[in-house]
Every structure is written in C-alpha cells, then in structure tokens.
A and B are shown apart, each in its own frame.
Chain A
Amino acid sequence: ETGVTQTPRHLVMGMTNKKSLKCEQHLGHNAMYWYKQSAKKPLELMFVYSLEERVENNSVPSRFSPECPNSSHLFLHLHTLQPEDSALYLCASSQMRLAGGYTGELFFGEGSRLTVL
C-alpha cells in the first residue's frame, strides 16, 4: 500500500450531481489535509483535520463538505459544483507534534482530477 491513496483518480460530474472524493493514509499520521490545485495557481489549502477535528477551513464554499471519520480517512463531499471548481484535489497527511517542532513534511496522494461540466 502506498502512503496516501486517493479515489477516484478522475471524476467528471455535472453541476447538479453529488459525488465524494476519498482519501486514505497508511502512515499512522494524526493530521490530514485537502488542497486544491488549479492551473497556474498555487496549491490552495482548503481544510485541515487534526486528531479528527477540523482545525482549518480556508473560506471554502459550502458546496465542498469535508468529513474525517477517523485518523486514516478523509472525504470531500461535492454538491452543486461550478465549472470553475474543476481542478486537481490533493489530499495530504502529516504527523503533528504537539510537544514542539516538526519536520513540516506533508505526504501527498496522487490527487483526484475533477472536471465539472
């Protein structure tokens, strides 16, 4: 098993559809992230879950709804998306060190390429 796996790798959906992206990490990490990568833009942080609690929500529209049922799984539920939401959605995980100091290293999945028609 690779460290962080994302499914599906490709998704095409209409604006009225409901779909979900899934992420699973096999690294024993305690923090998980959703990033969005659009063409010619920086990776944008969407959500952060630490110890299964959402600790960051970067002004993401409510049509994106994250869910973290446990420390190994992260979902991104999609509903009534717009064509401009078409992008590569990257999941990542890391080990948060509450006692201080961390490597800053995120482990990314391969991404889910989303196209909204």
Chain B
Amino acid sequence: DQQVKQNSPSLSVQEGRISILNCDYTNSMFDYFLWYKKYPAEGPTFLISISSIKDKNEDGRFTVFLNKSAKHLSLHIVPSQPGDSAVYFCAASVGGLGGATNKLIFGTGTLLAVQP
C-alpha cells in the first residue's frame, strides 16, 4: 500500500506559466515533507521541504503548500523554465522534528516537461 502518492505521472506546461505538482499521503504520522528533482542519468537532488507545523514554504520560484486536513501537498513553480523539466518526487518522513534517521517514503514521481 503506497503511503505517498503522485497520481499524475506526467505534466506539460508552457514556459513562463505556473507548474503545479501534487502529492497525497495516507499516514497521518508524517511530519516532514520534501520534494526532490531528478534529471536523467543523475541521482535525485533535494529541492524544498516543509514541516508539519507550517502550511507554506517558499524558496525563489518554488513554493510548497501543505494541507494537513486533506493530507495533500503541492509544489508550485513559477515562472516555469525549460531547465525545470525533470522528474519530481514527493517524499515524507516520520520523526522529522527530531528523528534519528532520515527514513523517507517516496512517491512514484511526476515527469514535468516545460515547453519553450
């Protein structure tokens, strides 16, 4: 049973527009959420995170929103750029606010294609 779900396997967006990637989770014990970005032939790289005590975290063009009641988080990229084209993984963990190991549960990923 998947605890972290990314229901859209792919998303296509025009350059300059907003990209919205969605993620749902089932485990209410998750208290830390992260987004990773992966280019082909490379390992995933950390993008942005949010703890359960917040509902929004912003870093430049990237904003993550957390809706705990809906067990849903989203990543907004605005404006989208062709270099943002990659697979985006949502991840969650328990014990993020003091846990001993970074045991992350990942979603299946969403392939974002930003068209010039």
What is the size, in residues, of chain A's interface with B at 8 Å between Cβ atoms?
31
Q: Which chain B residues in 1-37 approach chain A with CB under 8 Å? A: 2, 4, 9, 32, 34, 36
- Name B's interface SS: loop
Least CB distance from B84 to A in Å reads: 19
The docked-state distance in angstroms from the alpha carbon of A31 to that of B96 is 15
Complex contact A31–B42 (CB within 8 A): no
Chain A contacts for B41, CB-based, 8 A: 110
Complex contact B42–A110 (CB within 8 A): yes
Please classify how large the interface on chain B is, using the bins under 10, 10 to 19, 20 to 34, 35 or more. Answer: 20 to 34
Complex contact B102–A96 (CB within 8 A): yes
Q: Does A103 interact with chain B (Cβ within 8 Å)?
A: yes
Q: Which segment, of A12-20, A41-49, A64-72, A78-86, faces chain B? A: A41-49
Q: Which segment, of B55-63, B64-72, B104-112, faces chain A? A: B104-112
Complex contact B104–A42 (CB within 8 A): no
Question: A: which residues have CB within 8 A of B?
Answer: 4, 31, 33, 35, 40-45, 48, 50, 55-56, 90, 92, 94, 96, 98, 100-111
